[in-house]
Structure 1
Amino acid sequence: MNHIDEMALFRLGVLGPLTSRGELARGELARLIRQIAQQEYAIPGSQRRHISEKTLRAWYDLWRRDGITGLASKPRTDRGASKLSEAVQDAVLAAKRENPRRSIRQIRLLLEGAGVVPRDSLSKSAVHRLLKIHGLSRISGPCVVPDEKRSFVAEHAGSIWYGDVLHGPTLLLGGKRRKCYLVSLMDDASRLIAHSAFCLSETALDIEGVLKQALMRRGLPGRLVVDNGSAYRSATLQGICARLSIRLIYCRPYQPASKGKIERWHRTLRSQFLAELDTTHVRDLGDLNARLWAWIDQIYNRSKHSALGEHTPLSRYQQDLPRIRLLGPLAAQLDELFWHRVKRLVRRDGTVSYEGTRFEVPYELTGQHVSLVVDPHSGTVMHVENEAGQAIGAATRLDALANSTRRRQRPGSDAASAHVSTGPNLIELAHQQHYPHTEQ
């Protein structure tokens, strides 16, 4: 039996709704291709999850013309060849061999300066391909030392946690198609998932919400290793970790191996949870997370892990319970540690706004800048603080209807008449000078 190309089988499976039909009615081809393009696929040799309508139409035309052989992947005919002239090739290779530390940019500048090639005519990719063919593409030399990468494991549970976000599936939630993001925190020594949750975004607030639940369930980690993304670099997350004595560590950009353990967790979740998920039972985000948490607690954390010998993540974590930092007295203040502070200018009517809602603060703060203290996870406004962080009043939701009958404080006539001048008064002095004969 002739070997069938793996890519051809994959493409034929994608085109199944088209190839399984006979003649297509007018407009049906475009409609089916549009539906196929909206699905997610595990594309061999690629990190992408979607296939464009243009590509699907090209595959379909190839299948109609040549059958499954037309869908096979075809190697490049120019692989291993260079489009540069022999003279330019020799000059590029000579420049690299003369100084292996030269970058492509330096080689191009050198050849332009020597008059070998016109300015801006030498393609960077062409030089790179030529060097790669001859095994010279890497910058080498005595001053270039490759990063040392070694496998390691934390000595005990709670020493190191990893945090990361996985782009999850697009599901029909509440009648709308929404993309989900999985925010997870994993313990290094035990591979235990401290907490994980699907969210509708990957903001700092989502990450803080998962961290808060993880702290309540699994105690305080010594170090938290996270991505270098903007969500993890938020001032609020940094402040929370600082107040809890958690050392926040950022991975170097484009170094996925530094979080290899949690990347492996993502693969497990895709193959064991997402592959088995019956979305017909998922009505909203709560349903999705309820199934995730049940699977983590009952299956993942209680299954033997190849890196832990005979232990499960849960049993390995429990082995180190005496070493784990518990919240202790901080548990009562945990909500406060996750509060946000937002700067606001108090309007003339004594109100400030937050998330489209107006709140009344003490009227004497009118015209001042204050910090509105809010619980972002519940959307509750707590109180108002000054620049020193001291509470200076409550913040209550504006009730404009009640204010229509509210008695306002006005300067009283008695208070005005009670004023007695104890020093020179410009008005009285001017009056005396203008009317010198008026009786006092």
Structure 2
Amino acid sequence: MLSLAATLKIEAPHRTAAQVRRIMVTTLGDAPSESTLLRHFRTLDIPTGTPAAATGRFEAAYPNEIWVGDALHGPKIGGKKTYLFAFMDDHSRLITAARWAYAEDAVRLAAALRPALQTHGIPSSCYVDNGAAYVDSALKRTCAKLGIRLIHSRPYRPQGRGKIERFFGSVRSQFLSEITILTAPVQLVAPGTGGEAGEDQAGTAIGSLAELNALFSSWLHISYHHTVHTSTGQSPLARWEAGWSNRSPERRSAEAINEAFRWSVTRRVSKTATVSLQSNTYQVDPQLAGAHVELIYDPFDLTASVSVFTSDGAPAGNATAQHISRHVHPKAAAARADTDNGAKNVASGIDYLRMVEEHHTTQITGAPISFDKATTTDEATDARGAEAA
């Protein structure tokens, strides 16, 4: 058994003793303790590494008081870099939003955040860094419309970000260490897996962004959310659920959330009562000629209704499409390219993430569904909201 543990550690050096034990329990049903594994690794002179120290000691008093958002640089798939957008509930350590994408921009950030707000409710505050996606006007508008206080950390002072950085450490050691990116005809190795390009690697072989997101979702709901956190003494899911014992999440309608994610731009109305938006021409009320107006629009559908507001915020009807040469905003069009058709690959040896995915799929497709056994928080949160009503 210790020989298998050493093999698992050597073939993927970024695996922690806890991760090695987790794989052995999943595969064999039992495993030595973490301290025993660490002593064995040190006896064999296998590097064990030192976990990064967390920064800051602040903790939110209840769920949805503060969500902390950040992005993690991931492996390349098909020659394109991937990025993980994630938001963590500061009180419970539950990951409320998580999505891998091919770019680190506001469109991909919104794709991760929007379903999280619909599922988990509206946080009081969002604490983010000063990356381009987080200072974009689109995020500012979303937060303002939903009554979320947007807070940016001071440059080079990451206080309060230690929890999500620790989560990213878990992503590296427990998830990325278990995958191998395959791109025919050569094999590329994801960060943390070790080895050289072209060698056979342990773990789960994937070849598309869709696979990466599917496996990550399974790992998140089956493993991370059910693992007891050393700082809280509870799993993120248990702490999240306990935090709602005497209260309910603040929610907004789907229409209000969709409205909050529309984009805004200011334009000057021409003498002929038209405005230009992304090479398209729209007709507005003739009385607005010469005035500055705010246009609210859907970047994924420039042919849809465009709302018009005066400079003092008064509604001024809708703009009517007069000449359309572009149907989708360029940034939105680029985001649509995230949908790929990469073929699934088959890996040899112990495939921990595929076992996790199979477990996740079995739980969410089994009948009947039990809220006690379900690993996603969506249904449980909605059920509690209905009971409170």
The answer to whether TM tops 0.5 is yes
Q: Which residue does 1:396 correspond to in 2?
A: 321
Counterpart pick for 2:250 among 326, 343, 346: 326
The 5 Å alignment of 1:239-388 reads: 239-280=141-182, 282-309=206-233, 311-321=234-244, 322-328=246-252, 330-345=253-268, 352-355=275-278, 358-362=280-284, 364=286, 369-376=292-299, 381-387=304-310, 388=313
Percent identity over the alignment is 35
Please state how far the C-alpha of 1:193 moved relative to its aligned partner. Answer: 0.3
8 Å contact 1:370–1:384 — kept in the other structure?
no
Q: Could you tell me how far apart the structure 1 residues matched to 2:230 and 2:59 are?
A: 14
Give the direction of change, closer, same or farther, for the CA distance of 1:354–1:289 in structure 2 (3 Å limit): farther
Give the direction of change, closer, same or farther, for the CA distance of 1:380–1:263 in structure 2 (3 Å limit): farther
Q: Could you tell me how far apart the structure 1 residues matched to 2:317 and 2:139 are?
A: 25
The 5 Å alignment of 1:28-427 reads: 151-172=57-78, 177-280=79-182, 282-309=206-233, 311-321=234-244, 322-328=246-252, 330-345=253-268, 352-355=275-278, 358-362=280-284, 364=286, 369-376=292-299, 381-387=304-310, 388-396=313-321, 398=323
Q: Which residue does 1:98 correspond to in 2?
A: none
Give the direction of change, closer, same or farther, for the CA distance of 1:273–1:194 in structure 2 (3 Å limit): same
8 Å contact 1:384–1:395 — kept in the other structure?
no
Please state how far the C-alpha of 1:345 moved relative to its aligned partner. Answer: 4.8
Q: Could you tell me how far apart the structure 2 residues matched to 1:197 and 1:288 are?
A: 9
Please state how far the C-alpha of 1:397 moved relative to its aligned partner. Answer: 6.9
Q: Could you tell me how far apart the structure 2 residues matched to 1:300 and 1:238 are?
A: 30
Q: Could you tell me how far apart the structure 1 residues matched to 2:231 and 2:238 are?
A: 13
The SS at the match of 2:93 is coil
The SS at the match of 1:256 is coil
Which blocks of at least 5 consecutive residues in structure 1 are unaligned?
A: 1-9, 14-40, 43-148, 401-440
Give the direction of change, closer, same or farther, for the CA distance of 1:346–1:258 in structure 2 (3 Å limit): same
Deviation track 1:330-379 (CA, whole Å, cap 9, x = no partner) reads: 443111112111234567887655445x2443484677654332123566
> Which letter maps to 1:294?
S
The SS at the match of 2:221 is helix
Q: Could you tell me how far apart the structure 1 residues matched to 2:296 and 2:148 are?
A: 23
> Which letter maps to 2:93?
R
Q: Could you tell me how far apart the structure 1 residues matched to 2:135 and 2:315 are?
A: 26
8 Å contact 1:381–1:395 — kept in the other structure?
no
Q: Which has the higher strand share?
A: 2
Q: Could you tell me how far apart the structure 2 residues matched to 1:300 and 1:392 are?
A: 48
Please state how far the C-alpha of 1:265 moved relative to its aligned partner. Answer: 0.6
Q: Could you tell me how far apart the structure 2 residues matched to 1:297 and 1:244 are?
A: 27
> Which letter maps to 1:341?
S
Which blocks of at least 5 consecutive residues in structure 2 are unaligned?
A: 1-9, 15-54, 183-204, 326-389
Please state how far the C-alpha of 1:288 moved relative to its aligned partner. Answer: 2.5
Q: What is the CA RMSD across the aligned residues, in angstroms?
A: 3.2
Q: Could you tell me how far apart the structure 2 residues matched to 1:380 and 1:308 are?
A: 50
Please state how far the C-alpha of 1:196 moved relative to its aligned partner. Answer: 0.8
- TM-score, structure 2 length as denominator? 0.56
Deviation track 1:252-309 (CA, whole Å, cap 9, x = no partner) reads: 2212343000000111101111121243464543332222222212222122222232
The SS at the match of 1:195 is strand
- TM-score, structure 1 length as denominator? 0.50
Please state how far the C-alpha of 1:154 moved relative to its aligned partner. Answer: 2.1
Q: Which has the higher helix share?
A: 1
